[in-house]
Amino acid sequence: MPSYQAPLRDMRFVMDEMLDYPTHYAALPGGDDASPDVVAAILEEGARFARDVLLPINQSGDEEGCVLEGGEVKAPQGFKEAYQQYVEGGWPSLAADPEHGGQGLPPSLAMVLSEMICATNLAWGMYPGLSHGAADALRHHGTDEQKATYLTKLVEGVWTGTMCLTEPHCGTDLGLIKTRAVPAAGEAYTITGTKIFISAGEHDLAENIVHLVLAKLPDAPEGSKGISLFVVPKFLPNADGNPGERNGVTCGSLEHKMGIHGNATCVMNFDGATGYLVGSPNKGLACMFTMMNAARLGVGIQGLGLIEASFQNSLSYARDRLQMRGLSGKQAPEKPADPIIVHPDVRRMLLTQKAFAEGGRMLVLYAAQLLDTVELGQPGEEKERAETLLGLLTPIVKAFLTEVGFESTNEGVQVFGGHGFIKEWGMEQLVRDARITRLYEGTTGIQALDLLGRKVLMSQGESLKVFTKEIHKFCKAEADNPTLKEFITPLSKLNAEWGELTMGVGMKAMQDREEVGAASVDYLMYSGYVTLAYLFARAAKQASVALEGDDKAFYTAKLNTARFYYQRLLPRTKAHAQMIQAGAASLMAISSEDFGLGFEI
């Protein structure tokens, strides 16, 4: 079975030393509750829960999977008991508003916990993870009655939530949905339709499931402008707020999947189910985006958690596995062969995982700090800036971290060699689980279009300028720091090039809109590498200052990891820049009919 220890030392470095979370928390309304002692206790207890409760049922959950019997889904053995411990520990309410039964702590703390959960049992973590998004949507858009009925239960954790978007004939293009909502008695609507790929759509972990469903009213406009959002519970609440009559929503089947076997991915049938409108008619997509943006950050954290899990186990194996001698001679003469960690290519793979884990953690915690300000900060310039930056970074967090997450888990299998291909080591499960993260909540291509087309070009580059100005100020402030020259010089050049590439794509797109789609994925990956370069430069600055302290080994390793990132991973930007500039011509030259020349379809 794979092992895991929460990287608390690195988490504290990023939170306390690099991003100064203590000062950040103190400046937030109610931030006094997030004192250093409280934060430390949460991290320690979260690490224990992930390691001792979730990790032991991860592999067994993958092997056992979920079972559908008579319309009811049973999660793998131990999942329900783990969820009960999760609820009893107060984890669902950690960052929720006290008005709805929450503890009122900053959202960033819940995101730190989420990394630990994803690293130890991604499939289990999806059950409560989706509830947070449902709660956010109801908090922002629900009526007072809906909040009292559903939100308090979601915050408590005794009910879980889902979001029901995708249908058999449409995925991202939600304007094509066929699910219908017809007015019924009072404020109720009758919901009819089928949704697919619904994570945690049916299970036995909680007493009720709150589905947030996209549907169209009878007089709805065509396309995405005619979508409304409805809350549809599995059991209709009684007058006392407890589950009552079974609603007309059932699980038709479970998907047979490549990974995340422990989570129930359901086909959900709404057969005249009773639902209630959330928000205004035909404004459901805007309401759902509240949930989707939270989910996209959550999926990025899933990528990060899987990177860390794969890295830790790869490192442990590489230290123990003996094979051949080092190219420069015996490194462990007392042993029959040297540990494979002495070999340069193994070190390349391990350092790739390490750099993406540490860089990804910095990115997530930087975004989490912005989220705190957006959710809890006072209205004003700082909050507006945080909203702009978070909007820009959300598709990068989601897509970049899941792309490099899949790469990193594959490198983990490679470090193990043939043993990585064997199930009992657990490395191939990480690869299978990681693969979905590049797909759900918007594929990498969709995230890339959102970043380049919507966030950057539609704002005439203003959102990007907010970030590149921050990087420029950092580079300018450290320009004369000899310790950081190896980081500042390339970072400054890339920061300038980022703007130039953006302008180049924008100019081409004025003549041919296909240029945006042609450049978008490379643009997103380029953006991700530059963003991590900025964060590694900040980490290097902090580490260089602290080198003479008591933890010299940690800070030295941090500097060396930053150097590896700059020398061996950051050069990938050159290829991405070249492909961004290549344009759409070669992609669009072959007609759709001629794609298959050479074989019969």
Q: Where are the alpha helices (DSSP H) in 50-106?
A: 58-64, 79-88
Cα–Cα distance for residue pair 203/213, rounded to 1 Å:
18
Q: Is-contact 251 264, C-beta < 8 A?
A: yes
Tokens 């150097």 correspond to 563
Residue 255's CB: how many other CB atoms inside 10 A?
Answer: 15
DSSP result, 357-376: HHHHHHHHHHHHHHHHHHHH
Cα 544 from Cα 558, distance rounded (Å): 9
> Which residues on adjacent β-strands are paired with residue 214?
229
Secondary element (H or E) of residue 74: strand 72-74
Q: Residue 316 — φ and ψ, nearest 5°?
A: -60, -45
User: Within 10 A of 236 (CB to CB), how many other CB atoms are there?
Assistant: 16
Strands 159-164 and 208-215: parallel
At residue 448's C-alpha, the angle toward residues 447 and 451, to 5°, is 85
CB-based contacts of 381, cutoff 8 Å, min separation 6: none
Estimate the crossing angle of helix 485-511 against helix 514-546, to 10 degrees.
170
C-alpha–C-alpha distance, residues 184 and 187, integer Å = 7
Bridge partners of 278, per DSSP, are 229
> Of 465, 538, 453, 534, nearest to 493 (Cα)?
534
Please say whether the beta carbons of 18 and 361 come within 8 A. no
Which regions of 91-186 does DSSP assign to beta strands (E)?
A: 159-164, 180-183
- Which residue type sits at 24? H
H-helix segments, 57-166 = 58-64, 79-88, 107-120, 122-141, 144-146, 152-156
Reading the block at residue 301, the tokens are: 């954290």
Report the interhelical angle of 36-49 vs 107-120 (nearest 10°).
Answer: 20
Q: What DSSP state is assigned to residue 76?
A: P
Euclidean distance between CA atoms 411 and 310, whole angstroms: 8
CA 585 – CA 577 distance, rounded (Å):
16
Task: Assess contact for 25 and 106: CB atoms under 8 A.
Answer: yes
Report the chain's terminal Cα–Cα distance, integer Å.
45
Burial of 297 (0-12, 13-18, 19+ CB in 10 A): buried
Neighbours of 293 (CB within 10 A): 19
- The two tokens of residue 20 are 């100064």
Enumerate the active-site residues.
Answer: 441
